[in-house]
Amino acid sequence: MPQSKTSPIWHPFTQHALEGKMSKVVRGDGAYLHTADGRRIIDAISSWWVVTHGHCHPAIVRAIQEQAGKLDQVIFAGYTHDPAEEVAERILRLAPRGLDYVFFSDSGSASVEVAIKMALGYWHHNRKERTRIVVMQHSYHGDTIGAMSVGARGVFNATYRPLLFDVDTIPFPAKGRERETLNALASVCRTQRPAAFIVEPLILGAGGMLMYPSWVLREMKRICEAAEVLFIADEIMTGWGRTGSLFACEQANVTPDIVCYSKGITGGAVPLAVTLCRSEIFEAHYSNDRTRTFFHSSSYTANPMACAAAKANLELWEDPETRRRLTSVIGMQEKALEAFRNDARFENVRRTGTVTALDLKVSDAGYLAGVGPKLHSFFKDRNILLRPLGNTIYVMPPYCVTTADIDEIYSGIREAADAFGDSGSGA
């Protein structure tokens, strides 16, 4: 039994036997979080990658407040409302051309479940029993059963292995080995005739902030298209400017057959997710036969207040100032990272868009590296919210971050290397 119980809450991705008292946050403001004990913390990872324009952005807060006084919730089967209709129309205007329908859900994992079910339903209703899913090594798509099944097997899901369905896995396109990945995808598409291939475009998030070039994404889409395999893009993390364009697929000039968006869709204010698809996927389910209905929902599908937040966020993305801000953050990140490229304590120093990552050299690299919790605690003591993936330190700030904030973040990373790198006293 726990030696001391300070709260009845069981926190996510937290080993309570090793982690002390939780920091109580009482207020958010731009790039900062303010705690009950008076500290101001720089949110250098956008509170798990969701906050884009900054905490409590006035336009988004105002939209939620106004909607709360009009319509808070309504069943979304047989009913609709303006916020959802407007979000769907706006997001289709911004998304890659060729996507036609929007299905609402309330989390990234749920949007992936929807995508998988759409793909399987498409083939089933076309009387072609194609059920295999192809995935990429080191991928992560969420923590529900279907999303775990299409993610990498490992520490995240080992306990639940009996529940996971089998998939075909292709290698990550490491630098210099991209062709190996493409050949593997072509081979599995040819021999297994899978239903779909799901991939995180340009950056694999929880798998270690692994990055690959846009031409590889474009080639993967071409291979799937030639083999008539549905291409699912998981843009839950990579969307909303993180890779430098609004959506990562834009950089490869790729239109997925199905795409998942969440996290920054509301600017990080409230939960919402969407799964977009081509018309032929919707039409495979469209019938006078009720058994061909797409059987998926959540109680809060297209919640009006969440949709109001999303609408306000989409309006911000139509403002040129948002794009200018994005360009500014990219420049600040690249400039800050430059000093680390020749630092012998780090390896694989990398950046895609607004996201940077670098691996601290330690003897036990990987997600469970012993240095991971030490780094997290070290940054926390310095009022910087960084949550390394083992020995991989990454920075993914809100777009309102300042040069001073960036300097403080990377100063903390340098100090952490002094303390915990292979030559540091804390190793």
Structural domains in the chain, sorted by start: 60-317 (3.40.640.10), 320-420 (3.90.1150.10)
Full pLDDT tens readout for the chain, 427 residues:
555 678 999 999 999 999 888 999 999 999 999 999 999 999 999 999 999 999 999 999 999 999 999 999 999 999 999 999 999 999 999 999 999 999 999 999 999 999 999 999 999 999 998 999 999 999 999 999 999 999 999 988 999 999 999 999 999 999 999 999 999 999 999 999 999 999 999 999 999 999 999 999 999 999 999 999 999 999 999 999 999 999 999 999 999 999 999 999 999 999 999 999 999 999 999 999 999 999 999 999 999 999 999 999 999 999 999 999 999 999 999 999 999 999 999 999 999 999 999 999 999 999 999 999 999 999 999 999 999 999 999 999 999 999 999 999 999 999 999 999 774 434 3
Q: With contact defined as beta carbons under 8 Å apart, do 52 and 353 qualify?
A: no
Cα distances (Å, whole numbers) of residue 293 to 12, 50, 158, 186, 287: 34, 32, 33, 32, 8
Torsion from C-alpha of 74, 78, 82, 88, nearest 10 degrees:
110
Give CA–CA dist 302/227, Å, rounded: 34
Contacting residues for 416 by C-beta, under 8 A, at least 6 apart: 360, 375, 378, 379, 393
pLDDT digits (tens, 9 = 90+) for 4-15: 678 999 999 999
Q: In what order do the strands lie in the sheet with 40-43?
A: 25-29, 32-35, 40-43, 384-385
Tokens of 111: 């949007």
Cα distances (Å, whole numbers) of residue 149 to 91, 115, 138, 277: 28, 13, 12, 21
pTM for the complete prediction? Answer: 0.96
Give CA–CA dist 207/204, Å, rounded: 6
Tokens of 176: 């210099």
